[in-house]
Homo-oligomer: A and B are copies of this chain.
């Protein structure tokens, strides 16, 4: 498995350290990345985190804009400029800096949320409400898809 899936919430200790879930660590290791690449998520109170796959995706995103264009500069600043590469200690823990914690409103606990090629770091309470909202949207889309099936293409069976 080379995707980040599932979610867990872990606590920060008195020194501000937090364990990266073992499952996520193994994905990072398979990805060949030592440490944790992360930056404040755009437009939401969370932190994007991952390894080489995430970095490559960002690079591809920025490369779509012509060199020296204003968009490119802005994207580069917003993503690269705010990125950090956190070191992991021998037990697989990291410490977030103040900027990241402030952005996500993190105090003493963290929700790790797998998103496939990357994962996000949330303040647990905020994640709960975000998840409720997201679930509602997915359900709405499912209904929409369901109404198209039969009239249009129907790839494999569907619930």
- A residues with a Cβ closer than 8 A to B are 1, 3-7, 35, 37, 41-44, 48, 53, 55, 57, 59-62, 67-68, 70-71, 73-85, 113-118, 120, 130-131, 133-135, 137-139, 141-142, 149-150, 154-159
- Per the bound structure, the CA–CA distance linking A142 and B44 in Å amounts to 13
Please tell me if the beta carbons of B82 and A131 are within 8 angstroms of each other in the complex: yes
A62 to chain B, nearest CB (A): 7
Would B138 and A83 count as touching, CB distance under 8 A?
Answer: no
Copies in the complex: 2
A14 to chain B, nearest CB (A): 24
- Whether A81 pairs with B131 at a CB distance below 8 angstroms is yes
Distance in Å: Cβ of A2 to nearest Cβ of chain B: 11
Partner of A134, one of B61, B75, B157: B75
Q: Are B159 and A84 in contact (CB under 8 A)?
A: no
Is B138 touching A42 in the complex (CB atoms < 8 A)? yes
Contact A42 B75 (CB under 8 A): no
User: A117's contact among B135, B138, B157, by CB below 8 Å, is which?
Assistant: B157
Nearest B residue (CB) for A111: B81
Q: How far is the CA of A135 from the CA of B76 in the complex (A)?
A: 10
Q: Which B residue's beta carbon lies closest to that of A153? A: B155
Which of B1, B70, B81 sits near A6, CB closer than 8 Å?
B81
Q: How far is the CA of A37 from the CA of B114 in the complex (A)?
A: 14
Among B43, B60, B67, B81, point to the contact of A142 (Cβ < 8 A): B43
Instruction: Please name all residues of chain B whose beta carbon is closer than 8 Å to the beta carbon of A130 when the two chains form the complex.
Output: 74, 77
Among A62, A70, A159, max chain B CB count under 10 A is at: A159
